[in-house]
Amino acid sequence: MNPRDIEYRRDATIDLDRFIALFRDSTLAERRPVDDREVMRQMMQNASLTITAWDGDALVGIARTLTDFAHAAYLADLAVARSHQHQGIGRRLIEQTQAALGPRCMLVLLSAPAA
């Protein structure tokens, strides 16, 4: 996999099963209610901004943000599939998120020890 082959999309429509599978295939499944489909559906649908990373038709990363688009944004979830970790995809998802928010909006990210 060449990192340059990864396509980044803003607010792409994501199938719930793919969304949950990505969380399971990253360290986030340990800290998110992946067995509660309704909660996961609401998490996906109610995000203010999502940036996704695609390797062909495979969802390999997501940055899920809650924001007012003016002052502050909380990067609620940053997930990258294990097979695609340590290749700069997470960093690029954060960069794409900040670009979508604009220079005046502060991006807040709290990370877990395994992140």
Number of structural domains found in the chain: 1
Tokens of 26: 């990253």
Task: Note the residue count of the chain.
Answer: 115
Strand stretches in 13-105, DSSP E:
49-55, 58-67, 72-80
56 assigned to some structural domain: yes
113 assigned to some structural domain: no
Sign of CA dihedral 17, 22, 26, 31: negative
Tens digit of each residue's pLDDT (9 = 90 or more) over 13-61: 999 999 999 999 998 888 898 999 999 999 999 999 999 999 999 999 9
> Quick one: DSSP state of residue 34?
T
Regarding pTM above 0.85, the answer is yes
80 assigned to some structural domain: yes
Tokens of 8: 């980044």
Segments forming the whole domain that contains residue 78: 3-108
114 assigned to some structural domain: no
Tokens of 42: 């609401």
Tens digit of each residue's pLDDT (9 = 90 or more) over 66-108: 999 999 999 999 999 999 999 999 999 999 999 999 999 999 9
Question: End-to-end CA distance of the chain, in Å?
Answer: 21
